[in-house]
Structure 1
Amino acid sequence: MSLHHNQPKGLFLLFFVEMWERFSYYGMRALLVLYMVKYLMFSTEKAGRIYGWYTGLVYLTPLLGGYIADRYLGQRKCIIIGAVLMALGHFAMAFPSLPFFFSALGLLILGNGFFKPNISTVVGSLYEPNDPRRDAGFTIFYMGINLGALFSPLVCGTLGEKVGWHYGFGAAGVGMLMGLAMYLWGQKALLGDKCMKPAFIHGNRIEDKPLTHIEKQRIAVIFIMAFFVIFFWAAFEQAGSSLTLFADRETNRALSLFGYSWEMPASFFQAVNPLFILILAPFFSKLWVRLGEAQKEPPSPIKFVWGLGLLAVGFVVMIAAAAVYQQSGPVSVMWLMAAYFFHTMGELCLSPVGLSLVTKLAPAKFVSLLMGTWFLANFAANFVGGFFAGNYDAMNHTLFYMIPTGTAVGAGLLLLALTPQLRKWMHGVH
């Protein structure tokens, strides 16, 4: 069966809306640290701290956005509000002043809070509770995320580093407007009345019904799994900070082909992960289907363990790359390519699986709120990861990359030990 077999039409609208939103987010993120260090002349430590706060807070505000959607506005209105705020934020980045810079970060953080948990919830609403197409649908949606993330560093990174920083940020704003326009054009025809109203409506049975024992245990699983997500993303998000600095300073980016020489912008490495996602996601989707047909598909906690293990392998590659640099200077681009390859495989075992799992475990009246809670783990992870990246210049880089390797291995082993109990609390959800 093909990956897109009989998927709801609304999924493909959400695919392209999310693609443009992620184009804007990752285009801006690819430039952020380099812009602060090279244009605003911030120290590496200060830039790392700001990057950590920004990438952390964009995952804190979804808790607020999910609550407002569930209680007051519904997911569809919140998506529009979030898209407008983020477009304004990206265009504000195009103005070369510190007040505009920090105001832009604030708009982007707030807008993401309205947008991010609610578009994932709308994807989940396209399927009945036991619909076997759900995981494949989230894999398609995740490919949309990474299609946008693939092209944004190439477009925004080239404009920002080669033409002017503010052209790169402006291109990110145009991408967000494209996503908003597509959503406004297609939502009524392709989504119908799904998620138009909040789950909490006065007199609605959903509001009055107390949580059952099974629902409470399933919610507990969401929180426990979110805890382990922190360890994954704190290490993974070095891609936008310490790994970008490694690409800029310690990697030989000079390429020569048919007598033409060209130095690859450091921001281009931000496109490697989404490129690998687009190549590998269909394989992983088919792998889960084949294992399921053979009654051998691992439960979600075990997939998370695989993800943490593969992440650790990627950082072992970086330990070796840092050691080579210390011995002989700038290293081949293949070191970073190999690290991103393992990181991407780990991501595919964890991230789309986690999004799907939340929509399966969460009670109807708390879906957006619990999706926001899921992203709250990313807040903690990005804050920790940014704080850690701020020590990049002060530490031996071989030792620096040993730390995320060790935390990923430790978290994976602990989750493996907890898996039997988690499976009991999931009550049949795989």
Structure 2
Amino acid sequence: MTSTKTLPEFENLWGHPKPLWMLFMAEFWERFAFYGIRWALTLYIVAQFFNGDTSGQSFASNTYGSYLALVYASAIFGGYIADKVIGSQHSILVGAVIMGCGLFLIMLPDETFFMIGLATVIVGNGLFKPNISNLVGKIYAADDHRRDSGFSIFYMGINAGAMVSPIITQWLASTLTDTPMMDNYKAVFGAAGVGMLISYVWFYIGRRQLKGIGSVAKTPLRTKNLVTVVLGALVSIIPVYILITYAGAQVLAWILFALFIGLAFILLKQTKNDGKVAFERVIACLIMFVFNVIFFMFFEQAGSSFTFLAQNIVDRSITEVVEFKIAWFQSVNSVAILIFAPLVSALWVFMHKKKVEPSIPRKFALGLLGTGLGFLVLVYALENLLDANNMIPIWPLAACYVLHTIGELCLSPIGLSMVSKLVPASLAGFAFGGWFLSTAIGNNFSGILAGSMSGETGMTVASALSGFTFSFWLLTLGGALLFIIGPKINKLMHGVK
């Protein structure tokens, strides 16, 4: 729903349309907020609501997984609202305000208010996240060869925010040394709320660069729709709170599965009359969504099982007086993104010129295999590198994050670009919601897996070894399968590369 029917002329900046860099920074600050609390959530739940007892790790992991799942599942509704009701620009602005309010709410030291705050963040993120990605796709023509590299640059914005936020928020928590650690985490949540407000202001001022893309003409109907969406978003916080608090990860898995089936049905029905090519492209997109579930089931161990591994089984001593902070592991992924994203992007361009660039399915397969290799490093460390205190060195976990990063670069930015290419523009926001819904299902499974590794007594070497071995084999088998069937999926894409 844009007021401009044809793509406007954009001034180029550093080889790309100028609005890309505005969207880059708006996403930077939103990711600063999102990842600023990522490392602290499970630790805060155990410290605040279980008095630091390791028996709370399983609950914390399941809550974290459910929270992430609903964050991404809400994107399906946010994408639909943008496409059909108020446009991407207003969806982003409303979502930013709601998400900021939720981040300030979780500072309150009460479990009920904490869960309401998480529910508020979920609703706001659903309006924000799919629509800013959708705008990136809309500033490029359909046949613009820069689209993939543009999404890779945008992905660097995501990870630049994710890199600095754990460092800054860990520093804030560390400087409040005269208070209990659960109070220190509140400074983390407050800093994330400020970051979200900056994202709102940045996008509000910079959206003029979009020249009407993602906007809806100002009419009484738009005002009415906007009020309706705001009220509906506030009311929806209640069922989201109920889901995250009372449904449980297993029930949520069935709900998300039903949503995915419903989304697939709508996409297929909407494109059935558009011809065989459009219909089969959507089928290919849905198949790739399934493999995205597998990827994020294991990639998102970063905020749950990896956090408890870092806390309890990794010797984080660098010197006798210097310790590698738990939050810093979250930045390893982002630093690696900033190092490797330009290299991977350049590799795809080089291989394209040589006519040997892997297809989208095989790039996904490489992503799964790379992530599986990261778990193999942890399995090796847990079997061979334990010291007298049953601790492993820092480097295996850091290496795992780097390998997961390389896997991520082969999959996530390619997936965003894939959706923008395969799905008709009229359903793009809804389809981006579907991409994030598949991510949600994977995230929910990640919480269930992490919770099983912690069990009733907390993570042990044996439980970590068992869980990470399972992770390696499932990722490896999934990657091998996708590599084999990749050519068949590629046929369904009808020339989309």
User: Matched residue of 1:262: which SS?
Assistant: coil
- Where does residue 220 of structure 1 map in the other structure? 283
- Where does residue 131 of structure 2 map in the other structure? 118
Equivalents in 1 of 2:72, 2:440: separation in Å?
5
- Aligned with residue 418 of structure 2, among 350, 353, 357: 357
- Aligned with residue 22 of structure 1, among 31, 42, 47: 31
- Where does residue 163 of structure 2 map in the other structure? 150
The reply on whether 1:269 has 2:336 as its aligned counterpart is no
Shift of residue 4, structure 1, vs aligned partner: 6.9
- Aligned with residue 488 of structure 2, among 414, 421, 426: 421
- Where does residue 366 of structure 1 map in the other structure? 427
The reply on whether 1:348 has 2:409 as its aligned counterpart is yes
- Aligned with residue 66 of structure 1, among 79, 83, 89: 79
CA contact (8 A) 1:309 1:346 kept: yes
Equivalents in 1 of 2:137, 2:86: separation in Å?
18
CA contact (8 A) 2:271 2:279 kept: no
1:135-214 to 2 correspondence within 5 Å? Answer: 135-160=148-173, 162-163=175-176, 164-188=184-208, 190-197=209-216, 210-214=273-277
Equivalents in 2 of 1:284, 1:340: separation in Å?
17
Shift of residue 45, structure 1, vs aligned partner: 1.0
Instruction: Flag the 1:315–1:4 CA change in 2: closer, same or farther, 3 A.
Output: farther
- Where does residue 377 of structure 2 map in the other structure? 317
1:238-297, Cα deviation, whole Å (9 max, x unpaired): 0111011111111111222xxx72222212111110010001001001100100111111
Equivalents in 2 of 1:320, 1:216: separation in Å?
45
Equivalents in 1 of 2:61, 2:13: separation in Å?
40
User: Matched residue of 1:254: which SS?
Assistant: coil
TM-score by length of 1: 0.94
1:361-404, Cα deviation, whole Å (9 max, x unpaired): 11011000000001111111011010110012345321110111
CA contact (8 A) 1:31 1:160 kept: no
Equivalents in 2 of 1:209, 1:427: separation in Å?
16
Q: Structure 2: which amino acid aligns with 1:32?
A: L
1:139-193, Cα deviation, whole Å (9 max, x unpaired): 11000000000011111123235521111110001111111110011111x1110
Shift of residue 237, structure 1, vs aligned partner: 0.4
CA contact (8 A) 1:37 1:47 kept: yes
1:331-346 to 2 correspondence within 5 Å? Answer: 331-346=392-407
- Where does residue 392 of structure 1 map in the other structure? 453
CA contact (8 A) 1:161 1:265 kept: no
- Where does residue 47 of structure 1 map in the other structure? 60
User: Matched residue of 2:322: which SS?
Assistant: strand
1:216-295 to 2 correspondence within 5 Å? Answer: 216-256=279-319, 261-295=321-355
Equivalents in 1 of 2:56, 2:111: separation in Å?
15
1:19-78, Cα deviation, whole Å (9 max, x unpaired): 000010011111101101122217111111101100111010001111111111111110
CA contact (8 A) 1:230 1:381 kept: yes
CA contact (8 A) 1:158 1:168 kept: no
Moved more, 392-401 or 85-94: 392-401
Equivalents in 2 of 1:315, 1:360: separation in Å?
32
Moved more, 121-130 or 92-101: 92-101
CA contact (8 A) 1:226 1:374 kept: yes
- Where does residue 303 of structure 1 map in the other structure? 363
What is the total number of aligned residue pairs between the two structures?
417
CA contact (8 A) 2:344 2:409 kept: yes
Equivalents in 2 of 1:167, 1:121: separation in Å?
32
Moved more, 325-334 or 170-179: 325-334
Shift of residue 327, structure 1, vs aligned partner: 5.5
- Where does residue 38 of structure 1 map in the other structure? 47
CA contact (8 A) 1:58 1:109 kept: yes
User: Matched residue of 1:129: which SS?
Assistant: coil
Instruction: Flag the 1:316–1:428 CA change in 2: closer, same or farther, 3 A.
Output: same
Equivalents in 2 of 1:320, 1:35: separation in Å?
30
Instruction: Flag the 1:184–1:209 CA change in 2: closer, same or farther, 3 A.
Output: farther
Instruction: Flag the 1:212–1:197 CA change in 2: closer, same or farther, 3 A.
Output: farther
User: Matched residue of 2:410: which SS?
Assistant: helix
User: Matched residue of 1:193: which SS?
Assistant: coil
Q: Structure 2: which amino acid aligns with 1:178?
A: I
Instruction: Flag the 1:57–1:208 CA change in 2: closer, same or farther, 3 A.
Output: closer
Equivalents in 2 of 1:4, 1:354: separation in Å?
25
Equivalents in 2 of 1:37, 1:320: separation in Å?
29
Equivalents in 1 of 2:199, 2:111: separation in Å?
27
CA contact (8 A) 1:158 1:265 kept: no
Instruction: Flag the 1:195–1:209 CA change in 2: closer, same or farther, 3 A.
Output: farther
- Where does residue 204 of structure 1 map in the other structure? none
- Where does residue 10 of structure 1 map in the other structure? 19
Shift of residue 208, structure 1, vs aligned partner: 11
% same residue: 39
1:330-357, Cα deviation, whole Å (9 max, x unpaired): 2221111111111110000000011001
- Where does residue 121 of structure 2 map in the other structure? 108
- Where does residue 408 of structure 1 map in the other structure? 475
RMSD: 1.9
Equivalents in 1 of 2:354, 2:174: separation in Å?
50
Equivalents in 1 of 2:349, 2:147: separation in Å?
12
Shift of residue 421, structure 1, vs aligned partner: 1.4
Which consecutive unaligned segments of at least 5 residues does structure 2 have? 1-11, 177-183, 222-269, 456-461
TM-score by length of 2: 0.81
Q: Structure 2: which amino acid aligns with 1:173?
A: G
